[in-house]
Structure 1
Amino acid sequence: MIKVSILYPYRENGHFDVDYYCVTHMPLAAKLFGPSLKGWSVDVGINAGPPGTPPPYVAAGHFLFDSADEFYKVFKPAAGQLTADIPNYTDGGNGTILISEIKISM
C-alpha cells in the first residue's frame, strides 16, 4: 500500500482554510478518485516540537492506494479540477507531494 501526502509549508501570515480543505477539497478528491482510493486523512500542524514554535507544515492531506500506478491512473484525469480548486483554500500554491510505501500499519 502507498500513501500520497500533499504537504503545505507553514508561512507566516499565509492563508490556509482548513475547514474548506477538510469539508470540500478532500471529499472532492475522494469522489474523483473513486474506489481506487482506500482512505484519506488530514493533519493540521500545531508546532515544530517546542511549544509556541510554528509548525513546518500548516497541513498535510493523505490518500491511500494499493499502488502508485493506481494513484496515477485516477489522478491524471482529476488533476485539472483539483489544481483549479487550490486558490479556494490557500494562497501558498501547490503543496509538496510525497509518495511513500506503508510498511507498518496498526
Structure 2
Amino acid sequence: MIKVSVLYPNSDSATFDMDYYLNTHLPLVAELVGEALLSGHADKGLAGGAPGEAPAYIAMGHLTFDSVESFQQSFGPHQGAILADLANFTNTHPTVQISEIKQ
C-alpha cells in the first residue's frame, strides 16, 4: 500500500482555505480517481518542533492507494482538473511525495 502526501509549504505570505480543501477539493479528487482511492485525510500545520516555531507546512493531504501504478492510472487522466483547483484554496506550490506504508 502507498501513501501520496501533498505538502503545502508555510511562509509569511502562504494562504490556505482548509474549509474549501476539506469540503470541495478532497471530494473532487475522490470523485475523479474513483475506487482506486482507499482513504484520504488532511492535516493542518500548527507548530514546528521548537517553542514558537511556525510549522514547515501550512497543510498536508494524504491519499492511500494499493500501488503507485493504481495512483498513476487513476490520477493521471484528471491531473489537469485537480491541479487547476489548487488556485481556489492556496497560493503555495505543493511538494508531492509517494511513500510505501510499512506496518
For the criterion TM > 0.5, the same-fold answer is yes
Q: Indicate yes or no: 2:5 matched with 1:5.
A: yes
Distance 2:58 2:20 in 1: 14
Amino acid at match of 2:68: A
In the TM superposition, what whole-angstrom CA distance separates every residue of 1:3-31 from its partner, at most 9, and x where no partner exists? 00000000113211111111110110011
1:51-66 residue pairs with structure 2 within 5 A?
Answer: 51-66=51-66
Question: What are the ranges of 5 or more consecutive residues in structure 1 without an aligned counterpart?
Answer: none
What's 1:102 paired with? 101
Residue 52 of structure 1: CA displacement?
Answer: 2.3
Indicate whether 1:47 and 2:47 are aligned: yes
Runs of 4+ in structure 1 over 4 Å off: none
1:73-94 CA distance string (max 9 Å, x none): 011111010011010001113x
Q: What SS class does the counterpart of residue 32 from structure 2 fall into?
A: helix
Cα deviation, 1:46-69, whole Å, max 9, x if unaligned, reads 001233211000001010000000
- The percent of aligned pairs where both chains have the same amino acid is 47
Figure out how many residues of one structure are paired with residues of the other and give that number: 103
